[in-house]
Every structure is written in C-alpha cells, then in structure tokens.
Structure 1
Amino acid sequence: MNRISAHQCNLNIWHDLPDEMWRKVADIYKAMPGWIGYHNGIPYWFGQEKDDVYIEASVELSGLSFYAQMTKSDWDSWIERFKSEATQVLGFDVGEPEDGFV
C-alpha cells in the first residue's frame, strides 16, 4: 500500500560544521526535488505542515534532522538521493549515526 505516513531521519551533518560546509548544504537543499524554499528559516520541499506532503529540515545537536509526510517509497528515494548528493559535495560519507556514520 502506498499511503502517506510520517518519516524522520537524523544525519551525521553536525551543527558545528564550518559555515563553508553549511553553504554547501544549502546548495544541496536547493538542488533536491521538490525544493520550495525557506519559511521562517526552515527549509521545505513539496509543501509545508499544512499540506499532505512535505519535507522539512532542522539543525539539531543530534545532526541534520529531517521530518517528512509522504509515501514510504517517495521518502526512501528522496533521502537516499540527499545522502548521495551530500556525500559527494561534502567529501565524507553522509548517513545516520545509528547506522555507524559519524
């Protein structure tokens, strides 16, 4: 079944990275499918909280955190693409700390 559900992910893109790296992350945001821009400093893709489908990101002590409402297959595809793009652009393996990425 392909229904909309909630998804969450923390990545090993830490809050204390240099500004130069965060500028690169911002460029990755803009290149990702569904990019609609920032609202009150929060990046969004596809929509916002009032919409059925959206992705948002925030920088937390635990890393770069994503929250999404969309189908699992769309989410899996989108976040894997983000990890791949970030790995290439940032120069280190980007993934979830609980999967061993530090």
Structure 2
Amino acid sequence: MNICFYDNREITPDENGNVSIDRVYCLEFHDFKDVTWQHLGEVYRSLPQYIVKDNACPMWYGEEEGSAVYLYASVEPSGLQIVGDLSAEQWEMWERMFHRQLSRYDFPSFEC
C-alpha cells in the first residue's frame, strides 16, 4: 500500500550530510478504528531507535529539545506529520522501514 505524502520543506542534505524533515503522510484519521490505532502503534514500535515515553508523541533517536538528532510523529488534521533532524542515511533507513511497516496494514488515506 502506497500512502500519499508531501513535504512542507524540501529534504536536501546539508554540507554535513544532515537533513531536516517535515513530511505529512495523508492518513485519514477520521476513519481510524481502535484496531487501526493499534496497528499504527505497532508500526511506531517496530521502527529503529523508538523511544518509549508516557504521554508524549511517538519519537525516535532523541527528543527535539534535547538532542541534535531526533524524529517524532504528530497526528494532525492534514495527516501524520513526521518532523526531525537526522543524517541523510538515518532518514533513508527509517523511511524505508516506515513504508515497509505501513504496507503491512490497510490504513485509511486520501490523495494529497
């Protein structure tokens, strides 16, 4: 399953090979059921460097305020927003795994 996405800013490596991510996956959260939310949680937990924190956005690698390298997901009206700063290599690996894990389930989505 391919889920449409768009970038709020171009993902281009800087001189050190790092990228800033601001991507939105067009998931239709209004159509999610309890089991769909559970599946999304399974996707989150299966990704590299997942950080477990109660009452926090799903995050990987580090926290935005306390780490030079971080990634987090936020449920927004526009879809699932993924924001962070990583090395281009970390982002490419994480994104490949994210797409692979998303394809395991039938998530409601829309064209963006």
Return the TM-score normalized by structure 2: 0.73
Instruction: Name the SS for the 1:42 alignment partner.
Output: coil
**Alignment root-mean-square deviation, CA:** 2.3
Structure 1: 5+ residue stretches without partners? none
Native 8 Å contact 2:36 2:107 kept in 1: no
Change (3 A) 1:97 1:73: farther
Question: Is the contact made by 2:63 and 2:70 (CA closer than 8 Å) also made in structure 1?
Answer: yes
Q: Deviations over 1:2-58 (max 9, x none)?
A: 433311211132222112101111011111100012353311111001201111000
How many residue pairs get aligned? The number is 96
Residue 43 of structure 1 aligns with an amino acid whose one-letter code is: P
User: Which of the two has greater helix per residue?
Assistant: 1
Find the counterpart in structure 2 of residue 51 from structure 1: 67
TM-score by length of 1: 0.79
More strand by share: 1
Correspondence for 1:10: 24
| Unmatched 5+ stretches in structure 2 | 1-14
